[in-house]
Each structure stands twice: as C-alpha cells, then as structure tokens.
Amino acid sequence: MDANTVLLCVVVASALAFDFTNGFHDTANAMATSIATGALRPRIAVALSAVLNFLGAFLSLKVAATIATGIVDSGAITLTVVFAGLLGGLAWNLLTWYFGIPSSSSHALIGGVVGATLIAAGSSAVKGQAIVSKVLVPAVLAPVFAIVVATVGTYLVYRITANVPDRVRGRGFRLGQIGSASLVSLAHGTNDAQKTMGVITLALVANHTITTDAGTPLWVVVACALTIAAGTYIGGWRVIRTLGKGLTEIETPQGFAAEGSSAAVIFAASHFGLPLSTTHVCSGSIMGAGIGRRLAEVRWGLAGRMVLAWLFTLPAAALTGAVVWKGADAIGGAGGVAVVFALAAVLSGALFLAARREPVTHANVNAEWSGRLVPSAPVKEPAA
C-alpha cells in the first residue's frame, strides 16, 4: 500500500469520525422537544432518529454535490487540505458538544475546508460568491424564517384548540410529535449526511480516484448513512438538554409546531441543494414556539450566547483547519497527516473522559438545570 492510499484511508476515517459527531451532536435537532415533553422516551427517541437519519441519507445527493464541487476549486485541493478541513470541523463539533452548545456541524465543516484551502491554495481556490449565496445567506435567513413559521404555527395551534381540554390536547399532540420529530430526523438525513459524502467525494477527486463529473460512489453513501445513524443512536445528551430544557419550557403543541416548521424548512433546503444548518433551523423553531405561546418564557440570555457561538463557528473552524494544514505540511507527507491524526485522537479521547466527570445521559437529560453553557451536573431533587 503506497503513501497516497494510506493518506486517503486516513482522510476517509476522519470524514466518518466527523459524520459520527454530526450524528450525536445534532440528535437534539430532531428529538430534544419530543424528549422534553415526554412524547418519546429518550432511548426510543434516539433509536428512531438513527433509523430515519439512515434512510434520509439516501433520498437526495444535491447537498453532497454542493460540498464536493460548489465551495472550493476541487482541482486545487489535495488530500492534506481535505484532512485539515475535516479536523477543523471535528474539533469545533467536539468542543461545542462538551459545553452543550447547539452549534452547526455544517458550518464547522465548511469553515474547516475553506480555512485549509485558503492557507494551502490561496483565495483563488475558494468560490466566494457561492459561499455567500449557498452558505452565508441561508445561515442568516433560515433561523429567522424558522422563528416566524414556528411562531405563527404555535399561535394557530393554541387558537384552534382553545376549547379542547388540556389533557386531550396534550395527548393528541404527543402522538403528533412522534410524526413531526420523525420528519425532522428524515430531513436531517437528507441534508447533513450529504455533507460528509461531499467531502469524501472531494478527497476521491483530489486523489484522482474519480473524476470531477463523477457522482458520489454508492459505498460512500452507505458508509456515511451508517455512520451518522450510529452517532445519532449514541445521543448527544448535553445538546439535547440545552434545546429541550434550556431555551423555553416546551408543551406538546409547541413541540409539534416547532418540529413541523423545522422539517418544512430543512426539506426545502435539501431540495434546492443548500447545505443548511439544521441546528440553526431547529433552534429558531424552538424560539418561535416559545414566542407563539402566550405567557411562555424564552431565555434570551441563553439564546444570545448560542447565537454568539454560531457567529464564531465559521471563523473558528477555518482557523483550526488552517493550523492543522500548517502542522501537517510542516512535518510533511503522509507522516505529517498521521502525526496530526494521532494527536487529534488523543485530544478527543481526553475530552470524552472529561465529559464523563459530569455526565448527561438519557436518565437525567430532563432534570432541572441552571441553563449555563458549561459542564454542570443536573440539579438533584431534594431528599424527601
């Protein structure tokens, strides 16, 4: 096995590692409200989401094509650049998961790839206009649109069911949430799994394994679908807690409206090939659901800190991608990539071990907590 083949294998492994973190990081997008309202038990929720993420990955490849050829010049990309971009996205995913911040895996990946490309090949290799139209503009408009749709939807839901007894309404929307949460998971698969497919395709093009006009190979589709499903099943409980318990106290009608709004926006983006942030959409929908219910409280301080993290996602991932490329390039060749890969694995393991000191699991994800975006154990119930 020559050095290039080894390098390609490391890049594919890194891509699947990113895909795995995308799965457990973004489980909250689909299932946080259903878990918070009790519509689904935590373990059942993540299992259902995993299956639907897997199926959704096969429904469309338009987003994969955007990532593979739409944001950077594939002719100027090397395997080391792809590797560095992946580690930029992976590092941001793990860091925000540790702190329970619902951040965008999509923007982390795009930022990492763009940062590595800029430092390695210069600005001419980055398709700036495409990034503005297909990444930045949707990043601004999508959460705003989701807030508006969810606000109106929540208001209408409560208005239409005003004369329905609370118990009957709650039971009905609890069942409805199973369907709406399933739609969000399916939509997530059509959008987010595609991004890793696109990056692996970009790596295959850079290695001259396939041509630029070739489609995404079937083995790439299957591998990415399985990996994001596995990550989803693990369940990113820290982020689930933030979205389900942190932004607002969710009732079942709100959860139904939020999930329905999220699914509609994400499916529309997938149809047009836009690598949308499902995190931004789902977070916006939850905020809208809080606004739409009378007397509901939206914790705007927490929402503001989340938005601040969103603003840092692209530049932070880009900077990390650039630094990783510099480090790997300084060592040189496949050896440089291997050294950086090993270092990243050690640091990731250390972060997981640190997270186990104050774990958030399916057993305590719905417990009361302070709302701080730092590792903190759920508030324990006082002894009787």
Query: What DSSP character marks residue 2?
Result: -
Backbone phi, psi, residue 61, to 5°: -120, 15
Q: Is residue 175 part of a domain?
A: yes
| Count of C-beta atoms within a 10 Å radius of residue 123 | 9
Query: Nearest-CA neighbor of 198 among 223, 219, 222, 216?
Result: 216
pLDDT above 90: residue 74: no
The predicted structure's pLDDT at residue 111: 93
The token duo for 88 is 């930029």
% pLDDT > 90, the chain:
29
Domain span holding position 260:
3-355
The residue written with tokens 């020559």 in the block is 2
Confidence of residue 20 (pLDDT cuts 50, 70, 90): very high
The token duo for 240 is 């689930």
The predicted structure's pLDDT at residue 235: 73
The predicted structure's pLDDT at residue 374: 53
Backbone phi, psi, residue 274, to 5°: -90, 125
- 235-292: pLDDT as tens digits: 788 888 888 777 777 888 888 999 889 888 888 877 777 767 888 888 899 889 888 8
Helix runs in the chain, H state only: 3-37, 42-56, 62-69, 79-98, 105-121, 128-131, 137-160, 166-206, 218-234, 237-241, 252-271, 278-292, 300-331, 333-355
Please give the single-letter amino acid code of residue 27: T
Q: Is residue 276 part of a domain?
A: yes
Q: Is residue 360 part of a domain?
A: no
- 6-19: pLDDT as tens digits: 889 999 999 999 99
The predicted structure's pLDDT at residue 64: 62
Q: Is residue 380 part of a domain?
A: no
% pLDDT > 70, the chain:
92
What average pLDDT is seen over the chain? 85
The predicted structure's pLDDT at residue 379: 46
Confidence of residue 48 (pLDDT cuts 50, 70, 90): very high
Q: Is residue 202 part of a domain?
A: yes
The predicted structure's pLDDT at residue 47: 92
Instruction: Residue count of the chain, please give it.
Output: 384
- Report which listed range, 162-166, 192-196, 326-330, is most confident: 326-330
What is the rounded CA–CA span in Å between residue 10 and residue 231?
19
Q: Is residue 188 part of a domain?
A: yes
Opening angle at CA 265, ends 295 and 72, nearest 5: 130
Instruction: Choose between 239 and 294: higher pLDDT.
Output: 239
The predicted structure's pLDDT at residue 353: 92
Question: For the chain, how many structural domains are there in total?
Answer: 1
The token duo for 100 is 């329970």
Return the CA Rg of the chain.
20
pTM, full prediction = 0.86
Reported as half-sphere exposure (CB side, CA atoms, 13 A), residue 302 has a value of 26
The predicted structure's pLDDT at residue 73: 83
| Count of C-beta atoms within a 10 Å radius of residue 131 | 18
The predicted structure's pLDDT at residue 382: 43
CA 158 to chain centre: 30
The predicted structure's pLDDT at residue 130: 84
Confidence of residue 295 (pLDDT cuts 50, 70, 90): low
Instruction: Choose between 253 and 319: higher pLDDT.
Output: 319
Query: Nearest-CA neighbor of 14 among 95, 112, 107, 99?
Result: 112
Q: Is residue 382 part of a domain?
A: no
Q: Is residue 212 part of a domain?
A: yes
